[in-house]
Amino acid sequence: MPGNAGFGISVVGSSVSVGNPAVNFSSANSITGNGTGAAIAATNKGGINVFLNSNLDLRDADISNNTGAGLQIVMRSAVRSFATTINNNTGDGIHLIQGSALRLDDPRVRVVGNGRFGIDCADRSSSVGGDIAGVSGNGRANIGPECRGF
């Protein structure tokens, strides 16, 4: 079943948690099959969009098979992720732009099999920190040349 025409989840100017470690059952979340709208620009579709000074705490998620980036972090937004798999998206697994930040913590985040970079920073003002050992087997490269550590 196809997902949304644009993003599966959009976080705009707010703080959001996806997944909850406090519950006694699986809190796995699937964000799949989004970005199917032919009339929507490639930069406006994919799995999750975190935009405009937003914060996302992402755990126990499967972000896969989206047209576009699996996770896009834009305009001074920040994401902390663990125990998440981002794979088989047509664009970057994770795309950062305009002073955004990403922190990958344990349990390890897997970013594999995406069409472009595993993690790509579109500018030198964006940064990536934490455990990047789970980033492998992506189309162009695993880590884009502009990405810097915290």
Cα–Cα dist 88/4, whole Å: 17
Query: Is this prediction's pTM over 0.85?
Result: yes
Cα–Cα dist 37/127, whole Å: 30
DSSP state of 44: G
Q: What is the pLDDT of residue 94?
A: 98
70 and 88 Cβ atoms separated by less than 8 Å:
no
- Quick check: 88 pLDDT over 70? yes
Q: Pick 148 or 68 by higher pLDDT.
A: 68
Q: What is the pLDDT of residue 26?
A: 65
Residue bearing tokens 């992402």: 58
Structure-block tokens of residue 54:
């937003």
Cα–Cα dist 17/32, whole Å: 18
93 and 118 Cβ atoms separated by less than 8 Å:
yes
Lowest mean pLDDT among 23-27, 113-117, 146-150: 23-27
Q: What is the pLDDT of residue 3?
A: 81
Q: Pick 29 or 136 by higher pLDDT.
A: 136
How confident is the model over 89-102, as pLDDT tens digits? 999 999 999 999 99
Which of 120, 130, 12 has the alpha carbon at shortest distance from 75?
12
**Residue boundaries of the structural domains of the chain:** 7-20+27-143
Cα–Cα dist 63/61, whole Å: 6
